Amino acid sequence: MTLQRIEIFDTTLRDGTQARDINVSVEDKIMLTEKLDEFGVDFIEGGMPGSNPKDEQFFERVASLQLNHARIVAFGATARKADKVRVDDNIHKLLKSEAPIITLFGKTWRFHSKESLGISDSENAELIYNSIHYLKEAGREVFFDAEHFFDGYKDSPEFALRMLNAAIEAGASRLVLCDTNGGCLPTEVYNIVQDVCQRVDVPIGIHSHNDGELAVANAIAAIDAGATHAQGTINGIGERCGNCNLCSLIPNLLLKKDKDLGQLNASLHHLTGVSHFFDEVTNQIPNHRMAYVGKSAFTHKGGIHVSSVLKDARMYEHIQPEQVGNKRDVVVSELSGKSNIHYVAKEAGIDLGEDVQFSRNFVQRIKELEHEGFQFDGAGASFKLMLLGELKQYKPFFKITYAKVNDMFDESGVRYSESVMKVQVDGITEHTVADGNGPVNALDQAMRKALIRFYPELAKVHLVDYKVRVLDGHDGTQAKVRVHIESGDKKETWSTVGVSQDIIEASLTALYDSMNYKIFKDNLTATPADR
């Protein structure tokens, strides 16, 4: 059986950049274009050359790229006047972009045509026809984005279909039906797309927004109804609630619907890496709960779940995480059982053997600590050190015997933080003083200053993230706090935790674990002479 070929059209660089807090440079857009091409999408919509200098510069730069697969698309609107297409500035900027394909959007909802543009049905159809026809005469392939098509169809099928026919007659090679407001349900999308597919011979596309949390479902419904072209963005970024998330749509089409996505068929295992790459370039915090590519997508916490997963992962996983480049993760918490401990220990290279009693005791210890406020599902390094300590395979490399912090600021804006610390290494005491940008940074600097001559590798450690959580707000300023610290050394990152009614003490506990973990892991890989 021949699989149905579905085109994937990426609009991250255009529609995606309209999202709040998303700002990319021309250089960023070039890097993302190369990544998308390597991944295997069919079309990359680079921007709107008539709207800003950045997009115009992007099209100048991208013309010199040697892309292996994807085709570049420029986006723009129909001309302002039907009889002025040849002198319309935006139309000329689209041509000047030298993009081989142009996506042209036009009104297919009479409400917009009448209220926004103030023109008649015939004038709107003429505007669409003349704009597309002129671009076709100039040698460009044109996709017609039928803006607000589903709302327009529900309002007046005759008007919406008339606008599609104007685009067909002008030579549009794709008709992309847009749920611009993102308010349609999958059943509506299916019925409307099915009707359109029965009436026209031009390939139909779907462009769905996520305002009803249904963008991916609506895209799948459109494809089930006959659409062969789907548009979306990496990680679902876009204006308002975002666009159809290609990181969910692509695996659903490949793994659940048996569609042919061309080069993407062979590169699905790069999906998680592509998602993380886009988050890194756009300076976004990855959504751990995102389907398929999120850190939590294949994470198991409950003891019963973990026990089942260890027997056969299909019991609690709908696909194998490796298919999309992700990995299975098991966390330890108050919900854990022995299976959690054994799995996490094995992943860390620790063999617990058949010591059932140890496992029971350690699980109970974890539950007691979590009751006190600790949380180990986000602090793997602290958990590993504690487990190794219980097994007598680790003991701290240093001891803090004294710590003091002075923090001062006044109404003139003067700020000053200082830490005094005594650290003991192999019976040798280092007494240090260090300034810092705030009390936690001062503690960090004093600890490093004391340890650096014994463990110079600590110079490579840097803070990646620092989170504070008040555990019981009813206690006000006396409440316990939990501090999570994520540290890194350019090779990997690790997380540690501390809990106390004193935020400074909680921070110091997490920093203490972080430094010990760095020394421990480097000690494992060091040569015998170095150790």
Q: What ranges do the domains of the chain cover?
A: 7-281, 299-372, 459-531
What are the distances in angstroms from CA 342 to CA 84, 187, 336? Answer: 73, 46, 11
What is the per-residue pLDDT for 529? 44
| Span 70-113, pLDDT tens digits | 999 999 999 999 889 999 999 999 999 999 999 999 999 999 78
Lookup result for tokens 């460009």: 140
Q: What does each C-alpha distance from 169 to 73, 106, 402 come to in angstroms?
A: 21, 15, 82
Residue 444 phi/psi, 5° resolution? -60, -45
Q: Determine the Cα–Cα distance for residues 485 and 395; give it in Å rounded to an integer.
A: 21
**Lookup result for tokens 């349609």:** 184
Q: How do 7-10 and 229-232 pair as beta strands?
A: parallel
Comparing C-alpha atoms, which of 218, 226, 129, 217 is closest to residue 179? 218
Report the length, in residues, of the chain: 531
Q: How many angstroms separate the CA atoms of 225 and 178, rounded?
A: 15
CATH of domain 459-531: 3.30.160.340
Domain 7-281: give its CATH architecture. Answer: Alpha-Beta Barrel (3.20)
CA–CA separation, 105 and 116 (whole Å): 14
pTM of the model: 0.73
Please tell me the predicted confidence (pLDDT) of residue 531: 41
**Which residues, at least 6 apart from 180, have a Cβ–Cβ distance to it below 8 Å?**
147, 148, 149, 151, 207, 209
Among 143, 155, 142, 144, which residue's Cα sits nearest to residue 181? 155
**Cβ contacts of 353 within 8 Å, gap of 6 or more:** none
Q: If we measure between CA atoms, which residue out of 209, 216, 206, 294 comes closest to residue 257?
A: 216
Angle at 208 between CA 11 and CA 82, to 5 degrees: 75
459-531: same fold as 7-281? no
Largest interatomic CA distance in the chain: 91
Q: What is the pLDDT of residues 396-413, one digit of tens each?
A: 999 999 999 998 887 787
Of the chain, the end-to-end C-alpha distance in Å amounts to 61
Q: What is the residue whose two structure tokens read 């609107």?
A: 77
Cβ neighbours of residue 57 closer than 8 Å, sequence gap 6 or more: 26
E strands, 37-147, are 43-47, 71-77, 101-107, 141-147
In contact, 152 and 182? CB cutoff 8 Å: no
- List per-residue pLDDT tens for the chain, 531 residues long: 668 999 999 999 999 999 988 999 999 999 999 999 999 999 999 999 978 889 999 999 999 999 999 999 999 999 999 889 999 999 999 999 999 999 999 999 999 788 777 889 999 999 999 999 999 999 999 999 999 999 999 999 999 999 999 999 999 999 999 999 999 999 999 999 999 999 999 999 999 999 999 999 999 999 999 999 999 999 999 999 999 999 999 999 999 999 999 999 999 999 999 999 999 899 888 898 999 999 888 877 665 665 666 667 787 779 999 999 998 776 655 445 556 666 666 666 666 666 656 666 676 776 677 667 776 666 778 888 888 887 888 899 999 999 999 988 877 877 889 999 999 999 999 999 999 988 889 999 999 999 999 999 999 898 888 888 887 766 666 778 889 889 988 788 898 989 998 889 999 999 999 999 999 988 865 544 444
Per-residue pLDDT, 501: 87
Give the DSSP H/E element, type plus range, for residue 231.
strand 229-232
